[in-house]
Each structure stands twice: as C-alpha cells, then as structure tokens.
Amino acid sequence: MPAVLGGVPTFHDGLPLVRPTIEDPAAVTADLGRILESGLLTNGATVRRLEEAVGERLGTEVVAVSSCTAGLMLVLQAVGATGRVVMPSFTFSASAHAVVWAGGTVDFADVEPERATLDPNGLAELLDGASAMTATHIYGTPCDVEALGKLADDAGIPLVYDAAHALGSARDRVPIGRFGIAEVFSLSPTKVVVAGEGGLISTTDADLAKTLRMGRDYGNPGDYDTRFCGLNARMSELHATVALASFAKLDEHVAVRGALVDRFEGAIESVPGLRVVRPVDGDTSTFKDLTVVVDEDAFGMSAPQLQQALKADGVDTRRYYHPPIHRQQAYEGRWPTPRPLPVTDDLAASVLSPPLWSHMEEGTVVRVADTIATLHGRADEVVAVLGSAE
C-alpha cells in the first residue's frame, strides 16, 4: 500500500535526488592536502591539468571557471550579445541570468516535445535582428545542433550552448563541447562530473579562449591594466582536484546512468501515461536527470500529485523546469515580445525527475519504478487523499 494511503514508506530513511559520486575520497583528500601545503590555491597546475584533460577528450580549447553561470556570462560578453538573445524558457534560470548580466535582452522560444530542447522550427524569423542565440542540452540530451547551427550561420549570429548537463553527452558520436561558438559545462554537485562548484568553457576558437582566460581574472592580462570589465571567475586548485578525480570515471558513470534509465523505463513500460525524456537514436545523454513526462489523464494523477505521493514514500523528486523562466517573477517585464510557448508550458506542468546517481544500485531504481506503478494502480484513492496539487 502506498505510504500516502497509510502504508509503510518504500524508503524509510529517504531516497535523495542526488548523491555525488567520488569513488576514492581518501585519494582526493590526500591531493587536497598537498595543495594546501603548497600554498598555491589558484592559478596553479591542477586547473591546467583539468583543462588539458577535458580539452584532449573534446578536441577543443577548455577554460576552467568558477561556475557554469560565470562561464556563460563571460562568453556572452565576449561575443557582444548585448541585444536580443533568442533562447529556450524550458531551462534553468541561470541561462537567462547570464544574458541579462552580459547586457542582453531575453527572447524566449519554444522547445521540441520529445527532446525538450530548443525547437529549430519557426526560429528563423525570431533570429532576424537578434544578437545571439543560446540553447540548452537539457538533462544531457543533445540539441539538434546541425539545424540550430545552420540557423545561426544564416542569421550571422553566435550560437552559445548551455551544456551544464552535458559533459559526456554526444551528438552522433561527436562529443558535446564542439558545437557553436562555445559550450559551457557545470561541475556543481548535481552533475555527472563534480568539482563542488565550477564550470568549463569549451571552444574551438583559440582567440575566444584567450579572451575568456583574461575575463575570468577581471580582464587582467597580468599587468593590472584591465582590458575590459571581467569577473573573478577563477576555479580554485581545490575544486580542480575534485573535478579531475570525478572526470576520470566519466565514461563509466555515463554508462551506468544510461543502463539505470533503461532499467527504469523497462520497469514502467506497462504503466500508461509515462514517458522518459530521451535523446534521439545515435545520440548519447549523460542523463544528468532521469525525467518522466506524466500524462495526467492516462496515468490517473498529475505530476505534482505524483511528487507528493512519492514524497510520502521517502522519494525525493524535482520538477525540472517548473515554472519555466518566462513565468518566473524575475522575468516579469523582461520579455519585450511575449508569444505563446505551448510545448514549454505543457512540459513544465508535467515533468518529474526521480532520483538518479552514478553509484545507484539497479534494485533502487526498480523500487522507485515499482512504487510509481503501485501509485498508478491506486490513483483514484491517492487523488482523493491529496486533492489538487501544484
């Protein structure tokens, strides 16, 4: 019996949404100790090693920064995105915050229903007169980079990817990190590669990389005569050490997460009204999040009702991304030319992300799936207890 109906919770001690995976904490601790003893906490060899390791994997220039948000801010500043920037609303708010901080104006466009990434259809007319376009590889699912790239080229504007979720993703075997003018990864605790806090900018433009390295250090090339208004966006040696340890297991962790998503999807395949957000065939997702789209009519309850019911069973979840940015208080009045975003609104109302991490056991993800199936089987009773939820 579901806990919301008086049964025993499936997870007595709770099942958190995220648990960062560091497989040898003792080795990382020893490395941290050596850095502390050295007295060199920034601008050191460890950050350079991280940049080189990721750059070698991607075949790009990599610039380590203090956060993905700071990286996006610096890139948008560097490409002169001070006018209208076309972007999805179905993404984390930092994607838009970076536009505003760089002096641009957000202009939201809709997303594809299956991948939940920026929809190329109908974008051409929005790009006329824009200063830039940004797109997000949501949940680690690669965007339609070919179509978006052609649209940006035709419009003569830079394309910047918020790749916060996507270090380890690939578009038809080509690593995410090689597309657009730049792609920016996050290394925060919810990601597959973690640093504690941090970000990585990937670009094939060596001149842009040089500007970004200057920009992360206030715009100071070394003589204190700052060339432009940069940021203090340096990554510390301590964070880089954690990131290197995590990065070393990237392929293994992406494979584990993909297998867990497959197992979860198999366990719910007979449950109506649920769909897992997946990349198209041939693409690889990091599955930074395992995300299901809930069809309220077919499943028997809404995504927020399912979230409440799972909470009673000890399962932590998130509704990424509800509300979408264009409905957040911070962006009231910041969207000069509002237009309907029906897919964005539908997805935001119906997505739910249950727990997933790189060292999760298969049995755990199956128990979550079985709990969801049980809730569906008693949906009428659950809804009667919960009432409406939002």
| 125-162 tens-digit pLDDT | 999 999 999 999 999 999 999 999 999 999 999 999 99
* 389: pLDDT strictly greater than 80: no
Running DSSP on this structure, what letter comes out for residue 313? T
162 Cβ neighbours under 8 A, 6+ residues apart: 68, 72, 91, 92, 94, 95, 134, 135, 136, 137, 184
What is the model's pLDDT at position 23?
Answer: 87
State the pLDDT at residue 390: 65
Within 10 angstroms of residue 146's Cβ, the number of other Cβ atoms is: 12
- 225 in helix, strand or coil? coil
**Average pLDDT over every residue of 262-276:** 97
Q: What is the DSSP letter of 235?
A: P
What is the per-residue pLDDT for 381?
A: 95
List the strands of the sheet with 61-65, edge to edge. 61-65, 199-203, 182-186, 159-162, 132-136, 84-88, 105-109
pLDDT digits (tens, 9 = 90+) for 168-221: 999 999 999 999 999 999 999 999 999 999 999 999 999 999 999 999 999 999
Q: Distance between CA 157 and CA 133 in Å, rounded?
A: 7
What residue has token string 């309220």? 296
**What does the alpha-carbon distance between residue 28 and residue 82 come to, in Å, rounded to a whole number?**
41
Structural domains in the chain, sorted by start: 25-109+117-247 (3.40.640.10), 250-318+353-386 (3.90.1150.10)
Structure confidence at residue 43 (pLDDT): 87
Q: What is the mean pLDDT of residues 348-362?
A: 97
Three-state DSSP at 43 gives coil
Overall average pLDDT of the 256-282 stretch: 97
For residue 3, give Cα distances in angstroms to 6, 18, 119, 172, 220: 5, 22, 40, 43, 58
The fraction of the chain above a pLDDT of 70, given in percent, is: 99
> Mean pLDDT over residues 317-341, rounded?
96
pTM equals 0.96
Residue 15 clears pLDDT 80, i.e. is over it: yes
